[in-house]
Structure 1
Amino acid sequence: MTLAARLDDAWLVVPLFNEATVIEGVVRRARHTFPHVVCVDDASTDDSAARAEAAGAVVVRHPFNLGQGAALQTGMRYVLEATDAAYLVTFDADGQHRVEDAASMVERARAEDLAVVFGSRFLDDRTRPGLLKKLVLKAAVFVTNQQTGMRLTDAHNGLRVLRRDAASALDLRQNRMAHATEIVLQLGRTGLPWAEHPVHVLYTDYSKAKGQSLINSVNILVDTLLK
């Protein structure tokens, strides 16, 4: 059985906002392994949605910019209501997540009967975020663990695998970066089995040129503290 056939029951959920430069390639690469991809266009001002559709993704559009948390909730709701998917994978649009990591996480969830697999860039030394970014992210993880009672090493990694029952338990209300803490809190309350899995996050020239790396980390920390 091919890898794609084994992962036909898993949908990628991709929040999308102004990633026209890279999204077509991200979706095309992903669909070699994950045939089913839904991108939630959060009112992009470029042609991100058209490029995602050209690559074969289902595109759901927000008429107004609502934030990444809202985009994830919309994408999960679409998959749960419109498909019989067994697993949902939250996956970033900017090319920082690796498809092979997502596939390994789905395989682990299946093999170990896990409801949730959190990707962690801090379980090995492959990811090189830079010292300042690492310190900010570690601070956010500490705060999240204090708020949720969970013991994660990387609470704000956007790469996650959710079994259908876990995804059904989520009702995200935090639309900005604090949604990551909300996800951990709500999943922790379910009592469903979970694990962390080592992943390699790619800090690309593209993401660095957009100035996302450190700014997003600071935003995560601020939103986590204010939650």
Structure 2
Amino acid sequence: MQMRSDTWVVIPAFNEAPVIGGVVAGVRTLFPYVLVVDDASTDNTAALARAAGAYTATHPLNLGQGAALQTGFEAALARGARYVVTFDADGQHDPSDAAAMVDRAREEDLAFVLGSRFRDGAHAQVGSVKRAMLRLGALIARLRTGMALTDTHNGLRVIRADALAHVHLTHSRMAHASQIVSQLAACGLPGAEHPVTISYTDYSRAKGQPLLNSVNIAVDLALGGR
């Protein structure tokens, strides 16, 4: 915990009351500073996050995940974060993966470490349609940025403050994932992918709506993450 006191974990959340307390509690076993950005939830997501030990910021209107992340980035940097972790609110990420990614960034002097479901050692049960869209996204990202990525739509990321200063998200919804990759590539600082485990629960599958997500990824690719 003490080694990661320079790290803030940013969790964008919208109507995650059933799980947010457990997600925050799990993250706080390894990271002292957790910020949940409540994107105008209609349930008690923010109150439950605070009860579990998180700081919270709340949007008065639902603006989308990209906007929630940007709010979190600005807040974390203002509080002196050296590293910022992005972490999904639905419980599919493993806090130990996030800790390993921060430790790797520190040890290898990397400005960013991006989680991947497809690197050796990773584990995720991804449907065939979504897998195809994710691979297409990785191919397009490689052609556009020169970065040899395998998974451009993974919500688990570690970004160092100097790299995060180059990230300014204007795509509020799904296209923010490609925009983050493009802006990190443009900053010219070193980065890497890291294998992570994604645990798809009944809850996360219901929230994620896999077919709709595949459509959203297609829209993201068309927008180009600029």
TM-score, normalising length from structure 2?
A: 0.94
Give the aligned partner of residue 20 of structure 2. 23
Where does the alignment leave 5 or more consecutive residues of structure 2 unmatched? Answer: none
CA distance in 1, matches of 2:208, 2:92: 14
Are 2:6 and 1:9 equivalent residues in the alignment?
A: yes
Letter in 2 for 1:120: S
What are the equivalent positions in structure 2 for 1:155-194 lying under 5 Å apart? 155-194=152-191
Quote the residue 1:114 is aligned against.
110
How large is the RMSD of aligned CA atoms in angstroms?
Answer: 1.3
1:130-177 deviation line (CA, Å, top 9, x unaligned): 222211211222223333332210011111101111111111111111
Deviation at 1:204, TM superposition (A): 1.1
Percent identity for Structure 1 against Structure 2: 57
Counterpart among 47, 53, 57 of residue 44 in structure 2: 47
Corresponding position: 1:73 with 2:108: no
- 2:110 alignment partner AA: L
Corresponding residue for residue 128 of structure 1: 125
TM-score, with structure 1 as normaliser? 0.94
CA–CA distance in structure 2, aligned partners of residues 126 and 47 of structure 1: 32
Residues 96-120 of structure 1 show CA distances to partners (whole Å, capped at 9, x for unaligned) of 1110100000000000000000111
Q: What residue is the counterpart of 1:137 in the other structure?
A: 134
The amino acid of 2:16's aligned partner reads: E
Post-superposition offset of 1:211: 4.9
Q: Report what 1:102 is aligned to.
A: 98
Structure 1 runs of 4+ aligned residues shifted over 3 Å read none
Partner of 2:140: helix, strand, or coil?
A: helix
CA contact under 8 A between 1:203 and 1:213: conserved in structure 2? no
> How far apart in 1 are the matches of 2:165 and 2:127?
36
How far apart are the structure 1 equivalents of 2:181 and 2:208?
26
Gaps in structure 1 of 5+ consecutive residues: none
Residue of 153, 158, 170 corresponding to 2:150: 153
- Cα distance change of structure 1 residues 17 and 144 upon mapping to structure 2, 3 Å threshold: same
